[in-house]
Amino acid sequence: MSDPRGALMDAETDGPTASDVIAEACRLLRAGREAGLEMRLLGGVAIALRVPRHVAPLIQRDYNDIDVVVTGGIRRAVETLITSAGYRPNQEFNALHGNRRLLYYDDRRGRQVDVFVNAFTMCHAIPLGRRLLADETTLPLAELLLTKLQIVELNDKDQSDILTLLYHHALGDQDGEVINARQIGALCARDWGLWRTTGMNVERSVAALGQSSLADDAANLLAARLAELEQYIAAAPKTTKWKLRARVGDRVQWYDEPEEVD
């Protein structure tokens, strides 16, 4: 698959890093490719990049931080790459958690780079495996959407990202420029906690439509896609592990508390 916005943007720098965060994310991704490192973007910047070219995002918002995921076994090479690109490592955090997550800062821009190693784990774990590399620039759209739907304390920016991604991409049973809703359903069918939070955020998204200033046609399209996503999740055959956890329900906390980093 080709890059979703065409060739990676050329980043004009007025210092070690680019002032435009999307161009800077592309610069890091391109540097990784040149170094032979497998890196993929996620987060709000990745969602902005997956909006079709020459189309304005449904909801405009500012982006500040850059999130990437890398394959395992290349930590040292990634550390060298990002520090040489102009970023300062959080040495204490990286020493404690570097097997799964690394943090870097661009002090001049007030920007953070968050590197997930071989997996994405925040409120819930989103399995990646071979799917990490299914697309050339970002995580596949299904997993990209799930990284937002798995957030228990959803903020306005995350809500905007969910609606933007759903507006610009239809649901279906394959990857590419379609959100693979069958994959989302399958992952939720294995993990009751992920299913619970995802369902909660689908409901929040429906409620957000009623309070938004979106045009009727956009709101109606999103309402239809959210209902379709609910159907995919409901239809996926649930595992025995899911059914056993469902008996416990909300009596036991079903999500992890993401670690706060200063």
Residue 47 has pLDDT above 60, yes or no: yes
The CA-CA-CA angle for residues 210, 212, 218, to 5°, reads 90
Position 105 scores a pLDDT of 97
Residue 213 has pLDDT above 80, yes or no: yes
Distance in angstroms (rounded) separating the CA atoms of residues 120 and 187: 13
- The pTM of this model reads 0.92
The parent domain of residue 113 ranges over 21-249
* Residues 65-107: tens digit of each pLDDT: 999 999 888 888 999 999 999 999 999 999 999 889 999 999 9
Q: Is residue 87 part of a domain?
A: yes
Q: Is residue 191 part of a domain?
A: yes
Q: Is residue 8 part of a domain?
A: no
Strands 120-121 and 111-117: unpaired
Q: Is residue 12 part of a domain?
A: no
Q: Is residue 47 part of a domain?
A: yes
Residue 34 has pLDDT above 60, yes or no: yes
Integer distance in angstroms from the first to the last C-alpha of the chain?
Answer: 38
Distance in angstroms (rounded) separating the CA atoms of residues 32 and 79: 11
Give the residues across from 179 on adjacent strands. Answer: 171
* Residues 127-165: tens digit of each pLDDT: 998 899 999 999 999 999 999 999 999 999 999 999 999
Q: Is residue 256 part of a domain?
A: no
Q: Kindly report the average pLDDT of the chain as a whole number.
A: 92
Q: Is residue 75 part of a domain?
A: yes
* Residues 173-193: tens digit of each pLDDT: 999 999 999 999 999 999 999
Position 260 scores a pLDDT of 73
3-state percent breakdown (helix, strand, coil) of the chain, nearest 5: 50, 15, 35
Residue 3 has pLDDT above 60, yes or no: no
Specify the number of domains making up the chain: 1
Residue 259's pLDDT band (cuts 50, 70, 90): confident
Position 262 scores a pLDDT of 62
Q: Is residue 110 part of a domain?
A: yes
Position 74 scores a pLDDT of 85
